[in-house]
Structure 1
Amino acid sequence: MKTAITLLMLSSLAHSSFAETKPVNNLPGHYYLQGVREVGSELLLGKDGQFQWMMSYGAVDQYAQGTWLVDKGNVLLASTPAAENPSFRLFTEDEMRIRKPAKTGTWVAIVGVPRVGPTPGIEVKFESKTGKTLTAISDANGDAIVNMPDSEEWMRAGLRGAKSKSDWQWFAIPAERKKDRIAAFANSDENQTRPAAFEKLQLKIEEKGLRISDQEAMPRGLYTKQ
């Protein structure tokens, strides 16, 4: 009888720890959300401890990337925060899709990632040939706009994160951009262009996959490995 009870206890312990042992060794891979209508979501857990996540519903697309680890039967995702002061470069003429000059009396600096999207929250300092300067912060469309007399010539622009106290990253404005009063600057940090949908996310390890367990706004479907 004692042997039977012991075996039963061992069996119960093995079952309860299944989610914390056997799946942990096989967690890296590509997962797809199942059981939630009209919502598409994917999760990639890399063997190097990095993850990529996306969710799409209706016209809304959300993204996150960062690091992951296992803790007490859960997968914990921690998004990489956006750089406070990313590096920039001028768009090439091939990357410039806006050909129409800016309105007379305005200078426009567009900040974003080519073929990805705009970057809000970047402070731009506009400097004219006479030394006159004005600053603006890029909006949700990535546009920083100032009003400048048409008699002024745009010579250079300095960029940095709006919350940064770092030195300006300066760029001479090419002749064609001066003429059109509009220039575009590529941001090196895609995390600012596509802000993470969450800072941290916990997924419970289950026998058949991973289930979000700590976010009210997130769906309760199961991520199954493909």
Structure 2
Amino acid sequence: MTANSMTGYAPPARDERPLLERLAEVWEDFEQRLEQVPILQALAAGTVTLADYHRLLHNLRQQVVDGSPWIARAASNFGMDYFDLRSAAISHALEEHRDHLLLQSDYLAIGGTLPELQAGRKNVGSQALSGYMFHVASQPDPVGCLGAMFIIEGLGAQKAGEWGRRFAEVLGLADNQVHFMIYHADADVEHTGTMDAILTSDRINADAADAIVSCAKVVARLYVMQLTELDEI
């Protein structure tokens, strides 16, 4: 008699659905979790304050500066069998390299100071997210990182512009005070198109698909944690 037969536990069967269908399910769950984030609830209700926006940018910056380094780490760990993914990751790391400067500009434009921003520490969600991403990116052929990019680039393409415009509307902010979010609304649309082409290519086998979905689930939850645990260090 096997251990499984004694306990009655049966491991879940492999999900054979198309990868994009599985990721769409992850995204739907992510959106539902975002709706429970206090600062986003206040934004939707129109009760968000300038102090809230200040806190959000301050907290996001500490994780944004890690974005390009973990993508570059992933690129360095793709072998020659994944040369195309290595090239894509290198290009993406370069594009993300100056993102924190866009956020910094917005932060200064709403009255923050550079020493204050640079002295910031990652909140508990940012620590977990960055730690997880460097762990995944350090594995050989870290194809699962595509799941993280699916979530993070999806946020830029589908949510950042909406949030930026809403902050501007509620708080009476100028374009140069919400540039970081508005920029990603445009830039990440192109990124997600490239991402979809990779995810639907024959480069992604069943094991890779499982790794991508798993990473997407973890990153979605940790990103919500980052937005929820503002200033909790």
Instruction: Give TM class, smaller chain.
Output: under 0.3
TM-score, normalization by structure 1: 0.22
Q: Which of structures 1 and 2 has the larger relative contact order (alpha carbons within 8 angstroms, sep 6+)? A: 2
TM-score, normalization by structure 2: 0.21
Larger radius of gyration: 1
More strand by share: 1
More helix by share: 2
